[in-house]
A and B are shown apart, each in its own frame.
Chain A
Amino acid sequence: MNEDKLKALLQQDMNLRDAIRQEEAERPQMPADLNARLMQRVAQEKKQKRTRMVWPWIAAACVAGIMVVFLTPPKQTIEEKEIVAKVEKKEEKKQESKPEAPLKVEPKVTPAAPAKRPQQQRKPVAPTTAPKQLIAQEIAPIEAGNKQVTVSDEPTAKSHELTASTKTKMLTERDIPITRPENYKYTPEEIALMKRQANEAYLKWVELELEIAKHSQEQTAQKD
């Protein structure tokens, strides 16, 4: 059926047109406030769209913050607080002590306290060397220095040079032997000791269990 024929039908089908018109006239009218409600809904959807645009950014920022807090390596914090002590050895003090009384080291005085200072002033040794050897190396010259002091009552030229060279130096955690990475590992002797202690503890635990079992058996026998 072509369009011209249909147009003719449109004019021709009077009954059908009237029927449809009457049907349309009887249909419920559009509520007066429908457009106002629709505009409200449009405004609400606009607001929702705005929040949708914002919340992923807030969430991403929170996640980034958490990641920064938890995943930041602890090295940074150590580096920030790397300076743990400040050692200052002034020349004046030594110079003052020179004329009044020459240095005398009593044999009872432990060498650890005075020996630590020159030890700490040394530069950190390469981490490949064993810690015990390092300590031995560090203590040796200190002891030698002490001996020098005890032998000669008067201060020598060498001791003057030593005091002059001792300037203010900052100590870091890396200079303290316990924080060196090689010290984190156990030595074979320490491992053997720990194993021995574990075995002993296990044996003691077995003995204790046996005693408990015996005791409970005795108690049940007494009850019977």
Chain B
Amino acid sequence: MTETDTNLIEGLRQQSPKAQQQMLDRYGRDVFAQVIRLVSVTENAEEVYQDVFIKVFKHINRYDAEKSSLKTWVSRIAYNEAISFLRKKSAPMVYFEDYGDRAEALSDTEVDETFGHANQETVQLIRAALKYLPPEERAVITMFYYEEMSLKDIAYVTESLPSTVASKLSRTRKKLCRIIKMLQS
């Protein structure tokens, strides 16, 4: 942990408004992006964002630097807040579910070909397919491909094991491929 992080945490523990402002400036944008990824309505995302930081300021004493970085800890709180908001307040949404395990039947070569070769048309198809994924899966795939977080950190954020995250990523890839095939057909 850097010295600035230590000072920031110390300031937050003393409920210093300066430290709180510094925290918002440093991690605010990332947290908002993470929240709006899960909670797509802006007003709801703002509400969740505020709840996240109020929780962070209130429970800063629970932060353990040995378990994760400050950013990962904040991400975990944001993820949990957004998921619990979706469960409690959001209207129920219908997402793609692979009941027949047809996605699992797809070969690795087929999946690699879909995502591997640079093609604008496929990119658009993937973007359309991403909308059919449940928010949890979309969050995991974004954490891995966009934020480039390690499996360990993703596991910490989602409160699961790295091996579970790895299998979830593999399954989601295949699921996306299956959705693309459905959209193409």
Give me the interface of A with B, judged by CB distance under 8 Å.
Answer: 1-3, 6, 9-10, 12-24, 27-28, 30-31, 34-35, 37-39, 41-43, 45-46
> Are A24 and B57 interface neighbours, CB within 8 A?
no
B167 within 8 A of A: yes
Cβ contact of B127, chosen from A10, A23, A34, cutoff 8 A: A23
> Are A38 and B50 interface neighbours, CB within 8 A?
yes
How distant is the Cα of A42 from the Cα of B20 in the complex, in angstroms?
10
Give me the interface of B with A, judged by CB distance under 8 Å.
Answer: 15, 17, 20-21, 24-25, 28-29, 32-33, 36-37, 42, 45-46, 49-50, 53-54, 57, 112, 114-119, 122-124, 126-127, 130, 141-142, 144-146, 148, 150-151, 162, 166-167, 169-170, 173, 176
| Residues on the A chain within 8 Å of B32, using CB | 30, 34
> Are B118 and A39 interface neighbours, CB within 8 A?
no
| Residues on the B chain within 8 Å of A20, using CB | 126, 130, 141-142, 145-146
> Are A27 and B36 interface neighbours, CB within 8 A?
yes
How distant is the Cα of A35 from the Cα of B139 in the complex, in angstroms?
24
Which residue on chain B has the smallest CB distance to residue A35?
Answer: B24
A selection of 30 A-B contacts at a CB cut-off of 8 Å is: A1-B166, A2-B166, A3-B151, A6-B151, A6-B166, A6-B169, A9-B173, A10-B145, A13-B115, A13-B145, A14-B118, A15-B122, A15-B126, A19-B123, A20-B126, A20-B142, A23-B130, A27-B33, A27-B37, A30-B28, A30-B29, A30-B32, A30-B33, A30-B49, A31-B42, A34-B46, A34-B50, A35-B24, A37-B50, A39-B24
Say whether chain A's binding surface is mostly helix, strand, loop, or mixed. Answer: helix
User: Which has the most chain A C-beta neighbours within 10 Å: B49, B50, B145, B151?
Assistant: B145
| Residues on the B chain within 8 Å of A42, using CB | 17, 20, 53-54, 57
> Are B21 and A35 interface neighbours, CB within 8 A?
yes
Which residue on chain B has the smallest CB distance to residue A19?
Answer: B126
3 tightest A-B contacts by CB? Answer: A19-B126, A13-B115, A30-B32
How distant is the Cα of A16 from the Cα of B116 in the complex, in angstroms?
8
> Are A21 and B146 interface neighbours, CB within 8 A?
yes
How distant is the Cα of A133 from the Cα of B36 in the complex, in angstroms?
96
| Residues on the B chain within 8 Å of A23, using CB | 127, 130
How distant is the Cα of A116 from the Cα of B54 in the complex, in angstroms?
81
Cβ contact of A39, chosen from B17, B119, B130, cutoff 8 A: B17
Which residue on chain A has the smallest CB distance to residue B127?
Answer: A19
